[in-house]
Structure 1
Amino acid sequence: SKSGWILAKLDAWSARPAPRTLDLVDGAVLPWLGGEISLRLDPTGVRTSVRRDDDGLVLRHDPDLSGELRVRTLTAALQRFYTRQGQALMAPRVEAYAAQLGRPVRKVIVRDQKRRWGSCAADGTIRLNWRLMGFPEALIDYVCAHEAAHLVEHNHSPAYWRVVAGLMPDWRARRDRMRADADRWVAF
């Protein structure tokens, strides 16, 4: 009885662009705050590290790394960089939205989440996905406001959406844009 709906969803799913893959080569381009940032590999280090310079990201690594170990090591370094930058950018935004609501945030944690952009625990801990750092700041703000609103309403009821609208009147447009274009901003 649901075969028409299922087939339509499968067609829509197959029409979506393939997720971006991480190409660990010099000059690769990664999503960054709605735009792109270039990656320069610097095989002159012993310890793997990532830093920003005027031209983009510089990923310093051991020149002897190869194969799967190289991929895992460099990917982990990039993830740590995105996570640190995400913490610095998103935590103050969540706290500002929470302050508008008069609610305390216990802690903001940016981490690897496979299936969610964010979550809010009953104790006031808000977790955000480091992959948001590929998104435009307007959409990052939407996720921060969305999670802060859960400090007031721990559900997605009409009352919850009124809280979100109080923080961000154009939340629907931002949510729709996230749903439509998320794949183009996810780094890896």
Structure 2
Amino acid sequence: MRGLVQLAFDFFDALESKPKQAPAPINQAPVAPEIGAIDPVPLPTLLAPTAFRHPRARREVLLGDAVVAYAFERARRRSIGFSVGPEGLSVRAPHWATLSAVDAALREKSGWILRKLQESRERQARTEQGRITWADGAALPYLGGTLRLALDPAHRFAGKGAAREGGQLAIALPHNAAPAQIRDAVQAWLMRDARRHFTERLDHFAPLLGVRWTSLRLSNANTRWGSAKADGSIRLNWRLLHYRPAIIDYVVAHELAHLRVMDHSPRFWDTVATVVPDYAQLRDHLHDEPAPLWD
């Protein structure tokens, strides 16, 4: 009997001598492991892929690390064609082309497509940054420089509503004028000044090109700077006044050259080069640097 009692005591002594684990605290947030103990997370799961989405996209494809959702349509054509515009990538394919063939063609040209999409996005960002705020003291790009808008309700400017005074464009409006009123007054002045400036440059380049222009109309197009008809009528966008004079000269010479060559053949560009030798650089600048937005 004594032996059994001794064994029981030995058993409980062994239990008491075993190290005990402290109970987990109640309602205490778990302690994060050390940084070195965390498994590394692959970078693609941390960064969302670049995405370019056309507002009328019907399909999308992965080009490199970018998701490109593009507008797609079937057309009567011999090959798969694509273009990149302000809205994104547009693809036109013949009816016989499979969708897998379309995506393969896009992947083959992925470098060019992604570069153009990124350039278009950057251009849109610059355009948005250049939006004009219609208020006293606002900056207005003008002939490659800047005019500051100055509201001057006491000035009548001989009934014209605005006048250029040095580096300022003084506008006969009160300081609490609505933005739309300021914008309309500035536009009216710019259109008058554009007609004056364009007429001078047309008269300068026409004799040099051996052509005669008959009429000038101002346009407000978003994507076209000018046009010419065989009868000598010229149309020019008044927003060209936002650019420096050399760029305006290129557009004027371009339209006058069409009175001699009504296409964009090498002969046409040779004609432009006779009066504007650096037309290519000026054309690229006009394409790359958007005019400011008008609300």
TM-score, normalised to structure 1, is: 0.85
Q: Which residue of 1 aligns with 2:165?
A: 53
Q: Which residue of 2 aligns with 1:9?
A: 116
In structure 2, distance between residues paired with 1:186 and 1:119:
21
Q: Does 1:87 pair with 2:195?
A: yes
Whether the 8 Å CA contact 1:108–1:128 is kept in 2: the answer is: yes
Whether the 8 Å CA contact 1:104–1:124 is kept in 2: the answer is: yes
Q: CA deviation at 1:109?
A: 2.0
- The one-letter code of the counterpart of 1:35 is G
Identity value in percent = 34
Whether the 8 Å CA contact 2:134–2:180 is kept in 1: the answer is: no
Give 3-state SS (helix, strand or coil) of 1:31's partner: strand
- The one-letter code of the counterpart of 2:292 is V
Whether the 8 Å CA contact 1:108–1:126 is kept in 2: the answer is: yes
- The one-letter code of the counterpart of 1:37 is L
In structure 2, distance between residues paired with 1:13 and 1:110:
27
Whether the 8 Å CA contact 1:44–1:63 is kept in 2: the answer is: no
In structure 2, distance between residues paired with 1:101 and 1:8:
37
- The one-letter code of the counterpart of 1:23 is T
> Mean Cα displacement is larger for which, 100-109 or 136-145?
100-109
Whether the 8 Å CA contact 2:250–2:276 is kept in 1: the answer is: yes
Query: Where in structure 2 are the equivalents of 1:140-151 lying within 5 Å?
Result: 140-151=248-259
Query: Where in structure 2 are the equivalents of 1:14-25 lying within 5 Å?
Result: 14-16=121-123, 17-19=125-127, 20-25=130-135
> What runs of 5+ residues in structure 1 fail to find an aligned partner?
none
Q: Does 1:30 pair with 2:140?
A: yes
In structure 1, distance between residues paired with 2:225 and 2:256:
13
Q: Does 1:135 pair with 2:256?
A: no
Query: Bigger relative contact order, structure 1 or 2, given CA contacts below 8 A and separation 6+?
Result: 1
Report Cα offsets for 1:84-122 as digits up to 9, x if no partner: 111111112122212122211011223322211111123
Q: Which residue of 1 aligns with 2:286?
A: 178
> Mean Cα displacement is larger for which, 127-136 or 109-118?
109-118
Report Cα offsets for 1:147-183 as digits up to 9, x if no partner: 1101101111111111101122221122122223x22
In structure 2, distance between residues paired with 1:146 and 1:186:
23
Query: What is the total number of aligned residue pairs between the two structures?
Result: 182
Question: Which has the larger Rg?
Answer: 2
Whether the 8 Å CA contact 1:119–1:126 is kept in 2: the answer is: yes
Q: CA deviation at 1:38?
A: 0.6
Q: Which residue of 2 aligns with 1:154?
A: 262
In structure 1, distance between residues paired with 2:141 and 2:194:
13
In structure 2, distance between residues paired with 1:123 and 1:2:
43
Q: Which residue of 1 aligns with 2:64?
A: none
In structure 1, distance between residues paired with 2:137 and 2:180:
19
Which has the larger share of helix? Answer: 1
Q: 1:126 to 1:178 in 2, by over 3 A?
A: same
In structure 2, distance between residues paired with 1:148 and 1:29:
32
Q: CA deviation at 1:187?
A: 6.3
Q: CA deviation at 1:77?
A: 1.6
Q: 1:187 to 1:135 in 2, by over 3 A?
A: farther
Whether the 8 Å CA contact 1:110–1:129 is kept in 2: the answer is: yes
